[in-house]
Amino acid sequence: MPMPRLRFLALAPLIFAALAGCSSKDETPYVERPVEEIYNEAYDAALGGNFRKAAPLFDEVERQHPYSVWATQAQLMSAYSQYQANKYTDAINALDRFIQLNPSNPNVDYAYYLKGLCYYEQIVDVGRDQKLTTRALDSFDEVVRRFPTSKYARDARLKIDLTRNHLAGKEMSIGRWYLNRGQYLAAINRFQRVVEQYDTTDQVPEALLRLTEAYVALGLKDEAKRTASVLGYNYPGTEWYQDAYALATTGEARAQSESDGGWFGWGFGPF
């Protein structure tokens, strides 16, 4: 499940000191106002948690004063406010525009990171389409690849691991579906994808077990033994290995009494 998102203080390093001494006024649509007044009203609204009010006010800063020093910062603050208001599509559109218009801005790393969060917080269970998970992964990869020393890179790496595990879980779900219906070749393709493409995830031990199960069902005993051997080498002593060992040696799931030996007394290696 997605981790809790950053609250407003996460953006504090990006916000230049707000101008003081300006009182908030009710916004009059299409009436030009001083840039400091609009920005301060938007900032106060965001600081108070009223992000739905803040976002259009930050947009108004850029609309009325596009060449001011406040305009670029207002673009990012508007995107952040949309994100906090759970208006993810609007936030992503605003972030894409910010990145396109300001590729060398010192805060562009945050823009990529925030874009990843917008996708990440919409991730659903593995039974659903994983397009958003893939897009979150791509955005966090961009942060790590382009800004490896960024303050956001560490959390991006953590979320990369979580999104990869989620994508692997989706492959496992599909693979199990095929396996339960006797479509073993299709199942094998899914489980192999987990082992090859998501080799650092928590899904790998089960994927190796299910591969063993599929190979046994197809009568491919050597492949079953080889796969279980890989499982035993990388995850020794686990129930995944014990189940795979029983399948490869007897063709059935393990019973209560279990062998203490390894693969027929052999070490890891091809059979």
Task: Give a three-class secondary structure readout of 208-257.
Answer: HHHHHHHHHHCCCHHHHHHHHHHHHHHCCCCHHHHHHHHHHHHCCCCCCC
CA dist 208 and 157 (Å) reads 25
* Residues 157 and 179 reside in one and the same domain: no
Show the domain range for 129.
Answer: 8-20+27-165
C-alpha 85/C-alpha 209 separation (Å) is 44
Query: Residue 126 has what pLDDT?
Result: 63
Whether 39 is covered by a domain: the verdict is yes
pLDDT band at residue 254, thresholds of 50, 70 and 90? low
270 domain residue, yes or no: no
Mean pLDDT of the chain: 81
103 and 189 share one domain: no
User: In this structure, what are the phi and psi dihedrals at residue 263, rounded to the nearest 5 degrees?
Assistant: -70, 90
Q: Is residue 149 domain-shared with residue 211, that is, in the same domain?
A: no
CB proximity list for 239: less than 8 A, separation 6 or greater: none
Query: Which CATH number do you get for residue 100?
Result: 1.25.40.10
Q: Decide if 261 is inside a domain.
A: no
| Together in a domain, 109 and 13 | yes
Taking only the tens place, the pLDDT of each residue in 106-121 is: 999 999 999 999 999 9
Q: What is the mean pLDDT of residues 32-53?
A: 87
Structural domains in the chain (count): 2
| Chain segment 13-37, per-residue pLDDT in tens | 444 333 333 334 444 456 778 878 8
Residues 224-233, mean pLDDT to the nearest whole number:
90
The rounded percent of the chain whose pLDDT value lies above 70 is 80
* CA atoms within 13 Å, Cβ hemisphere of 145: 8
Q: How far apart are the first and last CA of the chain?
A: 40
Q: Are 73 and 140 part of one and the same domain?
A: yes
